[in-house]
Amino acid sequence: MVEEGDLKQWRDAGRVARRTIEGIKGEITAGKSWDEVIDSAERFIKRHGGHAAFPVTISVNEMAAHYTTNTELEPPEGLEGEMVFQKGDLVKFDVGVHIKGAIADNALTVEVGGGGKHTDQIRAAEEARDAAIEKMHPGTPWHEIGAAAEQVSKDAGFEPIRNLCGHQLERWNLHAGTSIPSYSCGAKNPGFKGDVEVGGIYAVEPFNTTGKSGMVENVPPVGSSNILRVTGDVKIRKALAKGKLKPLGATMARYIEERYNTLPFAERWAYPLLVKPFPGEEKESLRRKWNALVKKLISIRFAEVYAALRDADGGNVGQFEHTVLVTEGGPEVLTIQ
């Protein structure tokens, strides 16, 4: 639970997150590359006094979440053509900001070109988020939050996605403890026990889909999101003493941990750190060294990787998200301008 004295940083992070998403969404236009928008958003965050709490992600059409570009600009598996927005694309744009570890997370969905092809789905995703937030008063069971979001999705003719959830936020911890359902999970579901708590901060993010099953699946291969995270479970000094890391590997691990703590980070952020100890190294050799380093850090459980997610049926996915502080009087949306 967040103390009153800490709230300024959380509110400031929320304002930067919202300004970013509102300031950059107009750049999602036909012919523009995904990477251009991601880079623009991450630079916007820095200019406005924040730090990215995770890599800005772009998820198009059946892609649901957790995709950011990598150094090589390699497209996710299954994508035909270049990573360039096309008229009619349904785009989820997800931005997180932290200020000294106080995190704000928000997302929205837009249709490239605004042709009206996805208007109903976009509206339903936004209204499902708002319906869930309206229920977030102290003592409300989590299953009622999910039921409120599902009702909106179903009424509009879409399926709620059942295996993607909202999440509690804590300082330096993007996915802390409580998960928030976006569907009618039932009062006895073991994954969503308990009630909304005063002082809790939560990312509320219902997803909907045109697919029939309401499920997402991992995009192969492992690490397809191009996003990694330090687990916080392994001490570098001990790993070095036990021979699990060589000196260079330990130095790189220390660089990464110092910069990102245990928040998710992009391959394209960390890869350039390898250039300094190997000036003049050929590109292919550097890439081999990077791949070997990541493999080692994962094998000793110092780091983990994420998969990009897509609708299991190939349906189009919509999403909206706000970060909410629960007060005695009810929900306070932190991701506001």
207-248 tens-digit pLDDT? 999 999 999 999 999 999 999 999 999 999 999 999 999 999
22, 137, 175, 217: which one is catalytic?
175
Q: Is there a catalytic annotation at residue 205?
A: yes
**Catalytic annotation, pick one of 12, 89, 321, 322:** 321
* 118 included as an active-site residue: no
pLDDT(81) > 80: yes
Q: Does 98 participate in catalysis according to the annotation?
A: no
Q: Name the residue ranges covered by the structural domains of the chain.
A: 4-219+312-333, 227-305
CA dihedral 143, 144, 145, 151 (to 10 degrees): 110
Annotated active-site residue 42? The verdict is no
User: For 212, phi and psi rounded to 5 degrees?
Assistant: -85, -35
pLDDT per residue over 293-304, tens digit each? Answer: 999 999 999 999
Which of these, 239, 223, 260, 241, lies nearest to 302 by C-alpha position?
Answer: 239
AA letter at 27: E
Please pick, among 42, 62, 89, 205, the residue that the annotation labels catalytic: 205
Check 167, 267, 311, 322 and give the catalytic one.
Answer: 167
* Average pLDDT of the segment spanning 39-63: 98
CATH code of the domain occupying 4-219+312-333:
3.90.230.10
pLDDT at 4 over 80: no
Q: What is the mean pLDDT of the chain?
A: 96
Given the residues 12, 62, 89, 105, select the one marked as catalytic: 105
Q: Of 94, 150, 159, 311, which one is the catalytic site residue?
A: 94
